[in-house]
Amino acid sequence: MTIWKYVVPLVDGGEVKEIPRGYVPLQVSEQANLLCLWVLVDPDAPRDRIRLFARGTGQPFDAAEIAVYLGTGIMHGGRLVWHVFSDPVIDED
């Protein structure tokens, strides 16, 4: 097991990331003006594709989204509060 860091995109729609299956979210925090997520992973585990995204306090959130809450991070001295989520990417063959 080891700890990996992912930068959380602050764009509409988020971004697709590959992450080892069974990851455990540890912390969401600002680092160098970026919103980051730290996770505990087994680097040898098979990879899953997830959509990683954030919603700010007061922003619309589609209740139909299948999302897993990962944590909340505060940026710019508390002026911005982001709530980080993931949802699975379904590959259609």
Q: Are 15 and 52 in contact (CB under 8 A)?
A: yes
Can you give the pLDDT at residue 65? 66
Query: Which whole number is the average pLDDT over 58-82?
Result: 88
Which pTM value belongs to this model? Answer: 0.90
64: pLDDT strictly greater than 60: no
Tell me how many domains the chain contains.
Answer: 1
Percent of the chain at pLDDT exceeding 70 = 94
- Asked, for residue 93, whether it belongs to a domain, the answer is no
Expressed as residue numbers, the domain containing 7 is 2-88
Query: Which whole number is the average pLDDT over 3-22?
Result: 95
Query: Which whole number is the average pLDDT over 7-35?
Result: 95
- Asked, for residue 39, whether it belongs to a domain, the answer is yes
**Long-range contacts, 86-90 (Cβ 8 Å, 24+):** 86/50, 86/51, 86/52, 86/53, 87/50, 87/51, 87/53, 88/48, 88/49, 88/50, 88/51, 89/16, 89/49, 89/50, 89/51
Query: Which whole number is the average pLDDT over 65-77?
Result: 91
How far apart CA 30 and CA 36 sit, in angstroms, is 6
- Asked, for residue 75, whether it belongs to a domain, the answer is yes
